[in-house]
Structure 1
Amino acid sequence: MDDIKNINIKQFLSEQGISPKQERTAYGMYLSPFRPETAPSFKVDYNKNLWYDFGLGEGGSIIDLVMKLDSCSVNEAVAKLENGSFSFHCSESTEPVQSTMQIELVKLLQNIRLIDYLQSKRSISIDIAREYCQEVHYTTNGKPFFAIGFQSDAGGWELRNEYFKGSTSPKSPTTIGNSSPTCLLFEGFMDMLSYLTLKNAIRPTVDMAVLNSVHNLHRAEDFLKRHQTIHCFLDNDDAGRRAFTAVEKLGRETIDQSPFYRNLKDLNEYIVTHRLKSAQEPTKESMQTPIHKSNNTPTSKSRKI
């Protein structure tokens, strides 16, 4: 139970596409997820990892938050957080935080700032990024913005630029099928782009699934069950480990690829770190990148692919 309560509330909300409207070092103020409002009244204490809704006069741990959001019992909330099967249920009249966001234009990725962000900050191949992403122009409260956009199966957009990480509704996974018995499972689209950049492969022959949040795992289960083998490129954190355990329960051969970027948050951090080291130490260009290989046999639940 203590492990569940330690799940980071700020990260949890971010995975639902909910970002603070005002932020300080120790806390963030959000629009309440329980009702429509224009002034933020929902506080998350980052140090104590607790929330409090001033409009309701209620607060508590992440378990209390899921109980209220999903109208479920303590045991049900714990189970949802353990297996990543949380679904974000609000009252019908409640608008999500991103409700003021309006997509204005979707076009070929060509903005120089976005390209520079992908190349210099994320070490991503632009040719690969253009195959899977678009340049999305949108407005928030009437103000124009632009970002790299990655579309989900349900039609929502995952949006990224150097200063913003968000999404539009509806949130869902993104699946790419090639009738392969093998599926690569990624937590976010930057991880997928990182893998393809490492492999120098624009269109791999294997299937791929991007969760766009570990809390979308239950929405990807039907797609994952079609495969004999699932390679998991999930984050090296508690949420990633819980998601991997949930994938194992699907009864397929499940391979954990996170040991190849151990001590780093995710696969994108691996490629950025590796390329920085390669640039600084040219003589070490041959350092091992196991996921490049394709002719090795598995050892326990880790396999080079």
Structure 2
Amino acid sequence: MERTEIDVMRHIPLADFLARLGHEPVRRSGNELWYRAPYRNERTPSFRVNVAKQLWYDFGLGKGGDIFTLAGEFIRSNDFMEQVKFIAETVNMPMPVPEGSKPTFLPKPSEPAFEGVEAVPLLRSPLTDYLAERGIPYVVASRYCCRLNYGVRGKRYFTVGFPNVTGGYEIRSRFFKGCIPPKSVSLVKANDIPADECLVFEGFMDFLSAVTLGVTGNADCLVLNSVANVEKAAGLLDGYGRIGCFLDRDEAGRRTLAALTMRYGERVTDRSSLYDGCKDLNEYLQLTTKKQKNNHLKIEEQ
């Protein structure tokens, strides 16, 4: 049987497709290639390609799939023929004929099966040492985070866990960044009574940084856990009179600020001038902490 162009596309190695788009793996482990997510900014590689199965999985977003869904992430479209067109243009293939070309079977994402997930108090450990290196003191970390113990394919792991509103967790360690589904936003209430102001952060490291710096005051705090969750945040923000945004100073952060401003108008304030010159609030905290330590050393030497 002659292979259709769609079949040919489905068998394009994901690593070759990503290389065409200018993305190379950071490391390889057996059949797995690890990348920094190619369609969003991140420091810790959380995007995995399984070479044998030709499937990808983004631990940061909690989603994955085949080459077509990957193309969909780049162009932000679920339209199958738009995905096909993008792949064809990327690899210099002729555009397939639309009729009868949509595959009848799409493979399920190669998702990790999290086993025996257990949330326990965050005690002093290498995890809190890691947070301290990011400028987050134990007294702050232990108040808002837990330790998550879990298994994947028979191996046990432990990470810092930060709960979201749907029962999932953002998880971090020195070596890993991802989430235990379902992926969603996190809302931290300042008091039992409704607050007039809500502060918006891209990730929970920035939220913990804001608490450490003492800039949260009596405001509630909403952590997007991914700029892709901005629509999920909208309903939760409707009741606030003021919305202060501590978003990353990059293109994704600017797009998110624009989306919130379009919905809420003058209620939205850009608070990122606090960390002008830094990518995000956590980077600013780390620089501030380092300067304070250096000043203390100078005083002690005098």
TM-score, scaled to structure 2: 0.67
In the alignment, is residue 231 of structure 1 matched against residue 239 of structure 2?
no
Asked if 1:115 is matched to 2:128, the reply is yes
Structure 2 Cα separation of the partners of residues 110 and 149 of structure 1: 12
| Partner in structure 2 of residue 159 of structure 1 | 171
* Alpha-carbon spacing, 1:56–1:132, altered in 2? closer, same or farther (3 Å): closer
Cα distance change on mapping 1:191 and 1:105 into 2, 3 Å: same
Give CA deviations for 1:73-123 in whole Å, capped at 9, x if unaligned.
86xxxxxxxxxxxxxxxx99865454322243210001510111111x211
Cα deviation code 1:47-93 (max 9, x no counterpart)? xxxxxx9x7699868544x33xx23786xxxxxxxxxxxxxxxx998
Cross-structure match for 2:183: 171
Deviations 1:161-217 (A, max 9, x none): 11110101111101123411101001111111000011187xx52111000001001
Change (3 A) 1:72 1:173: farther
Q: Give the equivalent residue in structure 1 for 2:205.
A: 190
Alignment of 1:232-247 (within 5 A): 232-247=245-260
Given the alignment, which residue of 254, 262, 269 partners 2:276? 262
**Conserved? CA contact 2:227–2:253, under 8 Å:** yes
- In the alignment, what sits opposite 2:46? 19
How many residue pairs align between the two structures? 236
Given candidates 151, 161, 165, the residue that maps to 1:149 is 161
1:263, distance to aligned residue in structure 2 (A): 2.1
**Larger-gyration structure (1/2):** 2
- Matched to 2:292, the amino acid is S
Q: Is the 8 A contact 1:111 1:135 kept in 2?
A: no
Change (3 A) 1:134 1:58: closer
CA distance in 2, matches of 1:156, 1:264: 30
- Tell me which amino acid in the other structure corresponds to 2:47: P
- The equivalent of 2:214 in structure 1 is 199
1:18 is displaced (CA, Å) by: 9.2
Q: Percent identity?
A: 31
Between the aligned partners of 2:242 and 2:105, the Cα distance in structure 1 is 39
Q: CA RMSD in A?
A: 3.7
Alignment check: 8 A CA contact 1:230 1:254 kept: yes
Which amino acid is 1:134 matched to?
C
Supply the distance in 2 between the matched residues of 1:191 and 1:130 (Cα, whole angstroms).
16
The alignment status of 1:10 with 2:37, answered yes or no, reads yes
Which residue in the other structure is 1:34 paired with? none
Counterpart residue type for residue 160 of structure 2: I
Q: Is the 8 A contact 2:55 2:110 kept in 1?
A: no
Taking a change above 3 Å as real, the CA distance of residues 59 and 189 of structure 1, as seen in their structure-2 partners, is closer
Confirm or deny: 8 A CA contact 2:56 2:109 kept in the other structure.
no
Structure 1 residue runs without a partner (length 5+): 22-29, 32-37, 45-52, 75-90, 286-305
Deviations 1:249-284 (A, max 9, x none): 122411111122122111011000111122123499
SS at match of 1:271: helix
Which amino acid counterpart does residue 278 of structure 2 have in structure 1? L
Q: How big is the shift at 1:39?
A: 3.2
In the other structure, the counterpart of 1:181 is 196
CA contact (8 A) 1:103 1:136 kept: no
Map 1:58-69 → 2, pairs under 5 A: 63-64=74-75, 66-67=76-77
Distance in 1 separating the partners of 2:36 and 2:81: 18
Distance 2:234 2:271 in 1: 19
Q: How does 1:213-224 map to 2 (within 5 A)?
A: 213-224=226-237
Structure 1 length normalisation: TM-score? 0.66
Cα–Cα, structure 1 residues 18 and 40, in superposed 2: closer, same or farther, change >3 Å?
farther
Give SS of 1:249's match.
Answer: helix
CA contact (8 A) 1:187 1:235 kept: yes
Q: Which structure is higher in RCO with an 8 Å CA cutoff and minimum separation 6?
A: 1
Asked whether the 8 Å contact 1:181–1:229 carries over to 2, the reply is: yes
